[in-house]
Structure 1
């Protein structure tokens, strides 16, 4: 059967619609992973992502897999059984970090905030002093709640008490400010399918020198490939594919064989970063801020309430309270059936209570915002909700003109 994917405007919390420039880049001819041309492409991609992450880290690379592959690679490569890990939790993806750390054998402590808020950085700093974790693992922007966690003070506390700081920036990189070096973040991972405007399947990552040293202290060399200098040290990591020590050798000067590089996904990742930097990183972040503010103004213009603490809302996802008496999934289905627009629901305590509408990547633009609001107005009216005629589009236009 030939696949004929329908046209969709992906305005949910991710994935977002891929930038046409990225899709074109993916159609380029394949080259082998040890071709000098490919080696040059890998080097160029590393250089681009150092700029996107705002870092000088030499250890900057791609993990072949969706964003979760890089999340798991970071945690399982840093954590040994019995290590203490601290996780600030303010949404679904904080709970994911807890699960992965426990699977790695960690003793996990949490600092939690209600969904719709962030964790006070002082509470995290106090917990670091109390528990003295080896690793603090935190989500920057949790799309389940649309909240963005402040990181600078957490980075300072971790550095003071010799804890490594891992940040999941899957949903924030490229659309919100992420300052790896200034905020003293030791490991940051992301994905292409949110603000970077690409497909899922490649996960940029960067490691500080001390995080790289911690990973390499657990080096595992595949049986049959050892030399006298390649004896494993410390606890052997349970994963081969997600072993960051081996991936760093693969991406580093030694170019040690590890796996067959996902060539087309590397092309995509390279083009995502190139587009962001060509447009300007600050300008790209501002484009996301403007589009997100217009969407928030638009849903309020329809008489709907925005969920969560506005002071800590991500630029690129807006959560909207579902009006009383409205079936959330019926509205989502009508948006898809009648307008080919996808919006999202949420998880856990927010499932069926909010819609999540994304303005990210290629879709962080005026026409996508206005089209989505016009369609939402029509669908709500068809569901019996009284909404101001043109209220959403008008409010968004005013926000865009401000």
Structure 2
């Protein structure tokens, strides 16, 4: 018998300092949690972990909603699940767009057969909430969908007051908080958000593969109405002809099985109605990642992200680099830099990755080749990473022929960290 040997070496990915807007470095404690033994999805010990995860997510989303659980899939699966489950063909859907991911919401809504109405802002800016409230009252949509943190432009959309306008207009408000959950405040109940979708691979420092969602009773009522149609029931609960000629409650069936959150909530309910096989190791990761965020404390966590952002921005300014976008609406966990004239942005990124093991991001569409995007998210948001990045970026720019005051960025950052440390020691804010 001829012995066959594998042509492939043992897996050994390179160590990286990941400073993109996602994915980011995974907290080692989350990686450890993923190595634990597998439990069956209906093992009482595992369903107990599911219940714990739901409660942890309620605290993270700052909500008292009954429903807070993950959709198995990357962040986009959560966005699609919510929109597919809520939007019926012909529904009027209002989408404010100020970056790439607003267009994604538009595309998904159009695939649902919606009548989509959009308003657009120049990239690098956001909408005034009062402006959006007026649009919502005028358009009277069934659903409003918008991005909270737009990573393509590094901007943060204020949400206060938009939920109240949606209630007045009878609309459901769906918020993409993929880039913000766990890094900046996402106040689901206080802001009257009807459905919110988060991401694991950004501020929570968990591998991509789950999309935490939460939604309230207003959303659930629409889900249950559509579910009755799917099951072939009259509004009064009597069976009807499956061909649909009989009198029906308003609504249409949800066009996806896997992404049908009316079925997913049955799976996460005490009934445990089988829908799919839960991603055991990813649930361990989610539970541990959210637990760590809450253990740190949400306010302390938000402050940590602001702290390292401020040092990064000061270091970049000391290097002579210009930030992109309107400063008043900057997303604290993403910093966008204009690539200097005459500098090949991709060459600089390649030097950072190849020579320093540091990854930063470029951008999309009209900003491709014009800006770099640096993420300070979750576990990646720490002093050593900021200092390493500033030093490496200085070196890469000098190597590319850009004139800058060598050493100024790191010196500025070190001085700021020392001052922050001294204030903390003295108990000063």
Scaled to the shorter chain, the TM-score interval is over 0.9
State the partner residue of 1:129.
Answer: 137
Distance in 2, matches of 1:168 and 1:116, equals 18
Provide the residue aligned with 2:50 in structure 1. 42
After TM superposition, the structure 1 stretch with the greater mean CA deviation from structure 2, 324-333 or 383-392, is: 383-392
Q: Is the 8 A contact 1:307 1:319 kept in 2?
A: yes
2:330 alignment partner, one of 313, 336, 354: 313
CA separation in 2, counterparts of 1:73 and 1:244? 6
The yes-or-no answer on 1:396 pairing with 2:413 is: yes
Contact 1:293 1:399 in 2 (8 A): no
CA distance in 1, matches of 2:229, 2:89: 19
After superposition, what is the alpha-carbon deviation per residue over 1:281-331, rounded to whole angstroms, capped at 9, x for unaligned?
111111111111111111111100011111111111100000000011101
Question: Which has more radius of gyration?
Answer: 2
1:248 aligns with 2:248: no
1:369 equivalent to 2:377? Answer no
Report the alpha carbon displacement of residue 119 of structure 1 after superposing the two structures with TM.
1.3
C-alpha deviation, 1:399, in angstroms: 3.7
| Matching of residue 286 in structure 1 with residue 303 in structure 2 | yes
Partner in structure 2 of residue 335 of structure 1: 352
The gaps in structure 2 that reach 5 residues or longer are 1-7, 232-236, 243-248, 421-429
1:291, 1:316 within 8 Å by CA — same for their partners in 2?
A: no
2:208 is aligned, of 163, 179, 200, to 200
Q: Deviations over 1:112-139 (max 9, x none)?
A: 1111000121221111111100000010
* Alpha-carbon distance in structure 1 between the residues aligned to 2:91 and 2:133: 18
Give every structure 1 segment of 4 or more consecutive aligned residues whose post-TM-superposition deviation is greater than 3 Å.
Answer: 220-223, 228-234
CA–CA separation in structure 2 for the residues paired with 1:165 and 1:333:
41
Cα distance change of structure 1 residues 382 and 164 upon mapping to structure 2, 3 Å threshold = same
Point out where structure 1 has 5 or more consecutive residues left out of the alignment.
none
Distance 1:9 1:230, change over 3 A: farther
- Determine whether 1:16 maps to 2:33: no
Matched residue count: 399
CA distance in 2, matches of 1:241, 1:329: 38
Contact 1:22 1:272 in 2 (8 A): yes
How big is each residue's C-alpha offset from its partner over 1:99-120, in whole Å with a ceiling of 9 and x where there is no partner? 0000000011112111100012
RMSD between superposed Cα atoms in Å: 1.7
For 1:53 and 1:229, the matched residues in 2 are separated by: 38
**2: CA distance between counterparts of 1:287 and 1:88?**
30
TM-score, with length taken from structure 2: 0.90
Distance 1:97 1:136 in 2: 10
Normalising by structure 1, we get a TM-score of 0.96
